[in-house]
């Protein structure tokens, strides 16, 4: 992790923040889709639809979206939501994305740590997520943060 004199600030994003950062949020969502689903086309519409969902779920308070800033510059975000799985309250991480030029500064770690703090305050004992196995950096990142693989999703392409 690189040392930096400028502190990284993590804050809960509201609807106004999402509106102010619309372009960069959609760009980051698109980058994340391209990284995790390199064989898929027309990912722009999914990134745009996800942005609309972020706004909608922030408005209805079902989403937890945290943004990372350095010198008031938006660097990345984590988007989670509360859910129940087998009668256990959890937070599911939908996306975590940091701008490529800002990676390696510990921003992803700070975002996850802040989400964990929120979960603990709410009495939630588990955070889960899904990622692509072909995204080795992401798999290593989550392993280093104490996440473990509990299930595997299989796919079979037909035709």
pLDDT score, position 141: 83
Tell me: pLDDT of 155 over 80. Answer: no
Q: How confident is the model over 85-123, as pLDDT tens digits?
A: 899 999 999 999 999 899 889 999 999 999 999 999 999
Q: Which CATH number, 2.70.170.10, 3.40.630.30, 3.40.109.10, 3.90.550.10, labels domain 8-144?
A: 3.40.630.30
Q: Token digits for 48? A: 């745009």
Domain range summary for the chain, segments of one domain joined by +: 8-144
- Average pLDDT of the chain is 89
- Count Cα atoms within 13 angstroms, Cβ side, for 157: 3
| Separation CA 111–CA 94 (nearest Å) | 13
- Predicted TM-score (pTM) of the model is 0.85
Q: How confident is the model over 42-64, as pLDDT tens digits?
A: 899 999 999 999 999 999 999 99
């Amino acid at each position: 992790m690189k040392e930096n004199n400028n502190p990284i600030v993590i804050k809960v994003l509201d609807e106004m923040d999402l509106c102010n950062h619309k372009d960069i949020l959609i760009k980051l969502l698109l980058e994340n889709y391209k990284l995790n689903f390199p064989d898929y086309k027309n990912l722009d519409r999914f990134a745009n639809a996800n942005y609309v969902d972020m706004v909608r779920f922030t408005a209805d308070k079902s989403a937890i979206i945290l943004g990372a800033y350095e010198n008031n510059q938006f660097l990345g975000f984590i988007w989670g939501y509360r859910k129940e799985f087998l009668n256990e309250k959890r937070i599911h991480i939908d996306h975590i994305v940091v701008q490529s030029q800002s990676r390696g500064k510990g921003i992803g770690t700070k975002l996850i740590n802040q989400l964990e703090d929120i979960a603990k305050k709410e009495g939630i004992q588990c955070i889960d997520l899904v990622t692509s196995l072909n995204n080795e950096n992401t798999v290593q990142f989550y392993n280093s943060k104490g996440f473990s693989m509990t299930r595997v999703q299989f796919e079979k392409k037909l035709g």
